[in-house]
Amino acid sequence: MATLTKQQIGTVLAKQGILIAFAVFMVAFTLANPKFISIDNLFSVVRSSAILGVMALGVTFVVISGNLDLSVGSMMSFSTIVVLDLHDKIGPALAIPAMFAMTLCLGAFIGFLVGYLRLNSLIVTLGMLSAIHGLTLTYSGGQNMDIADKEGTWFSVFGQGSALGIPVPILIFVALAAFLGIMLAKTPFGRKVYAVGGNGTAATFSGIRRARTVFACYIISAFCVATAGLIQASRSLGSQNTVGQGLELEVLAAVILGGASLLGGSGAIFKTVIGVLILGFIQNGLLLIGLQFYVQFVVTWVIIILAVWLDIAAKRGKLWSPIA
Amino acid sequence: MKAGTLSKALKSGAIWGFIVLELIFFSIAGEYLSLSDKAFMDWENMLLLLKQSAPIGIIAMGMTIVMINGNIDLSVGATYAIAAIVLLESMTWPIFAGLGDMVIPVAWLLALLVGTFLGALNGLIVWKTGVDAFIVTLGSMLGFRGIVFMFNGENPTSHLNWTLVDFAEAEFLGLATASWFLLAVTLVIWFVMTKTVHGRNAYAIGDNRDAAVNAGIRVGPHIMINFAIIGFLAALSAVVFYSESGSVNPNDGQLYELWVITAVVLGGTKITGGAGSVIGTFGGVIAIQLLRKGLGHIGADTSTVNLVIGLILIVVLILDRQLNVKGKEELKV
């Protein structure tokens, strides 16, 4: 009986572990500093997590389909630089669709290589990380990009504006999360993504076009990256060409924290959002209780490993790995 | 000739063919495009190239073992930075003040110990928790980098010890100290991988872990030792490089993991484990450095280097796919 209860607790912990951890963190930080739970602070955390969050939504699709995307960071730099550059040349109304088209082309290229040519996604996106970084530097001539007239443009609305008292980046993040969440959980396409990631061969035999599904996941990822680039560009109205460097790993950390398996086939948009928020609130909470900014990285390290470890420990029913 | 022998020969020789191609291309293109009137294939230039390959090359040898083993280590860049800080900082500690120049071996030893410890820690986590090495080292990459920043904020850590600089800049039989270290590490790792039980086990585990367990190989400790080796080599790379430069920025070593993995993959090691060679990795390291230097020689800037290396990595992958037997399903990562 006792073991059964223990097991049950284990299952509950594993299934809802990330939510429980989230709740514990929120309570602990609030006790440490009541300012933490104020509306202003909550808004500012979600707003600053929005860029990372939007990218993580797309990467969730890629990871569930059983692949990786390490190129999202440099792709985000690319779209930020491109939209800022085109803003002054052809105006914001044309610059935005042009930037989306260019970013989607990059996504399509990766999707073609991984989906249709069946190349290893880790290496392909590693190569694209470097290649797109080079492309961005070439495009910008190594210069930082700035918008000439920062006051008189409506372009700043995506990063700085607010509607109904809610900052626009949050609205974009929530809307995109809702849309992609429904797409992943409720549509045939979403089920295909899980099937391809869970067991690609079985999916092929049941008539799912695997290549096309993987391709679509990379297109979605590129779309999210372009949106993140738009928010970033609009928020700062000027940018370094390395603005997204290193983000790919933080994004991946958020997705993994949300419980998606790198083997594919599991994960959810809702969980990824929790993962993003945990990262954001930890960063904010640690600062509020007076710790150094960089402590968050060490804490993130511990949390990622604990989260994944507990997840697989619950699945195999043993805490320690059976490897001799 | 058996079927597949040709493609095998092509694959193992491909990296050297690529290097020769690069040499020919940059020599000819350099005649027209280069601003300097020195030839690209100048002896001095090639020696410098070997020396500049050392920091990436030394780590790449460790990555070869870890990848043949079926794992990956993303934290090497951060380990590199930590070891560099330990090296430079420990020389200024008051406890060692009385040692004079004897502080150098002590600082080296400390840096190497810290690197080995961090690597072993990764390995222990991979072994005991069963979490994928990609996730474990992704986490520790963030964590180790956080430790680097916690130590001195955004400020560089500097300490110049002239005896040490003299040693690092010294040349022996025409080769710089760093080059000797690269060659020695390559030789040792080559020996381990081809002539010892440990090396054979590394291939066996990477090829089929369950079979290796059934064959009685203690997989866990084996994996941990390999992570300790790559931690040691990341620290050794830092020790060799920072002995000469004497100043480390908290961002140093960032993206090293990507360069190292690129070199190893170019050298023909399979990302799913079980296949690869140390000599191939050496070729991969040289090929990358040649490309960086060559593009610089014909007047291209760093952006082109990034673009070209990224695309070459993808082309290599496509070629590899074509040369492999068609229809043979490969495991995904």
According to DSSP, residue A116 is labeled: I
Q: What is the pLDDT of residues A92-106, one digit of tens each?
A: 888 899 999 999 999
B177 close contact with A: CB closer than 8 A:
no
Crossing angle (nearest 10°) for helices B302-323 and B5-33: 160
The sign of the CA dihedral A312, A313, A318, A322 is positive
The pLDDT assigned to B68 comes to 92
| Interface contact flag, B138 A122, Cβ < 8 Å | no
CB A22 within 8 A of CB A274: yes
| Interface contact flag, A130 B145, Cβ < 8 Å | no
Q: What is the pLDDT of residues B256-268, one digit of tens each?
A: 888 898 899 888 8
Q: Return d(Cα B180, Cα B240) in angstroms, integer.
A: 10
Q: What is the pLDDT of residues B191-216, one digit of tens each?
A: 999 999 999 999 999 888 888 888 88
> Does residue B323 have a pLDDT over 70?
no
Closest CB to B134: pick one of A142, A262, A296.
Answer: A262
Closest CB to B132: pick one of A124, A262, A320.
Answer: A262
Cα A35 to chain centroid distance, Å, stands at 27
Q: Which residue has the tokens 């230097």?
A: B293
Question: How confident is residue B333, by pLDDT bands cut at 50, 70 and 90?
Answer: very low
Q: Are strands A238-239 and B175-176 parallel, antiparallel or unpaired?
A: unpaired
DSSP string of A235-282, one letter each residue: HHSEE-TTTTTTHHHHHHHHHHHTT--TTSS---HHHHHHHHHHHHHH
Cα B144 to chain centroid distance, Å, stands at 18
CB B174 within 8 A of CB B45: no
Q: Return d(Cα B235, Cα B256) in angstroms, integer.
A: 13
B211 close contact with A: CB closer than 8 A:
no
| Interface contact flag, A305 B131, Cβ < 8 Å | yes
Range B319-331 average pLDDT = 56
Range B4-18 average pLDDT = 67
Q: Return d(Cα A113, Cα A118) in angstroms, integer.
A: 6
In DSSP terms, B175 is beta-bridged to B172
Tokens (6 digits) for B177: 């100290």
Q: What is the pLDDT of residues A181-228, one digit of tens each?
A: 999 999 999 999 999 988 888 888 888 888 899 999 999 999 999 999
> Does residue B325 have a pLDDT over 50?
no
Please state the three-class secondary structure of A159-181 as a single string.
Answer: HHCEECCEEHHHHHHHHHHHHHH
Residue B68 belongs to what H/E stretch? helix B43-68
What's the gap in Å between the CA of B130 and the closest CA on chain A? 5
A129 close contact with B: CB closer than 8 A:
yes
The pLDDT assigned to A12 comes to 62
How many CB atoms sit inside 10 A of residue B166's CB?
Answer: 12
Determine the Cα angle at B45 with ends B41 and B51, to 5°: 130
What ipTM score was computed for the predicted complex, to two decimals? 0.80
Q: Return d(Cα B283, Cα B263) in angstroms, integer.
A: 8
Q: What is the pLDDT of residues B158-194, one digit of tens each?
A: 777 777 777 777 777 778 888 899 999 999 999 999 9
> Does residue B6 have a pLDDT over 80?
no
A317 close contact with B: CB closer than 8 A:
no
Q: Which residue has the tokens 């990848």?
A: B67
Mutate to test the interface with B, among A297, A302, A304, A306 (most CBs of B within 10 A): A297
Q: Which residue has the tokens 């070439």?
A: A138
* Alpha carbon distances (Å) from B6 to A82, A245, B3, B328: 46, 41, 7, 18
The pLDDT assigned to A4 comes to 55
Mutate to test the interface with A, among B303, B308, B316, B326 (most CBs of A within 10 A): B303
- Which positions in chain B touch A300 (Cβ < 8 Å)? 139, 142-143, 146
The pLDDT assigned to A293 comes to 80
B318: closest chain A residue by CA? A119
CB B118 within 8 A of CB B75: yes
What residues of chain B, 146 to 175, have a C-beta less than 8 Å from chain A? 146-147, 149-150, 153
Closest CB to B138: pick one of A142, A252, A298.
Answer: A252
- Which three-class secondary structure state does DSSP give residue A291? coil
CATH number of A33-316: 1.10.3470
What residues of chain A, 191 to 210, have a C-beta less than 8 Å from chain B? 200-201
Q: Return d(Cα B143, Cα B283) in angstroms, integer.
A: 32
The pLDDT assigned to A138 comes to 87
B134 close contact with A: CB closer than 8 A:
yes
Q: Return d(Cα B81, Cα B236) in angstroms, integer.
A: 11
A314: closest chain B residue by CA? B129
Average pLDDT of chain B to the nearest whole number:
83
* B204 contact partners, CB below 8 Å, separation of at least 6: B211, B212, B215, B217
Q: Return d(Cα B283, Cα A84) in angstroms, integer.
A: 41
pLDDT profile of chain A (324 residues), mean per 10: 57 67 82 82 87 94 91 92 88 89 94 89 87 88 78 78 84 93 92 89 86 94 94 86 81 86 85 89 82 82 82 79 72
| Interface contact flag, B313 A134, Cβ < 8 Å | no
- Percent helix, strand, coil in chain B, to 5, is 75, 0, 25
Q: What is the pLDDT of residues B84-123, one digit of tens each?
A: 999 888 888 777 777 777 788 888 899 999 999 999 999 9
CB B189 within 8 A of CB B59: no
Q: Please count the helices (runs of H) and the strands (runs of E) in chain B.
A: 13, 4
Q: What is the pLDDT of residues B275-307, one digit of tens each?
A: 888 999 999 999 888 888 888 777 777 778 888
> Does residue B332 have a pLDDT over 80?
no
Annotated domain spans of chain A: 33-316
Q: Return d(Cα A281, Cα A24) in angstroms, integer.
A: 12
Question: How confident is residue B326, by pLDDT bands cut at 50, 70 and 90?
Answer: very low
The pLDDT assigned to B291 comes to 86
What's the gap in Å between the CA of A85 and the closest CA on chain B? 18
Q: What are phi and psi of A221, to 5 degrees?
A: -60, -45
Q: What is the pLDDT of residues B214-255, one digit of tens each?
A: 888 899 899 999 999 999 999 999 999 888 887 888 888 877
In DSSP terms, A166 is beta-bridged to A163
The pLDDT assigned to B324 comes to 59
What residues of chain A, 251 to 310, have a C-beta less than 8 Å from chain B? 252-253, 256, 262, 264, 292-298, 300-302, 304-305, 308-309
CB A251 within 8 A of CB A56: yes
B296 close contact with A: CB closer than 8 A:
no
- Give the helix ranges, DSSP H, for chain A: 2-32, 39-64, 72-90, 92-111, 121-140, 157-160, 168-186, 188-198, 200-205, 210-236, 247-257, 269-288, 295-316
Domain spanning B48-320, CATH class: mainly alpha
Tokens (6 digits) for A43: 């808004």
Could you tell me the pTM of the whole model? 0.84
CB A46 within 8 A of CB A280: yes
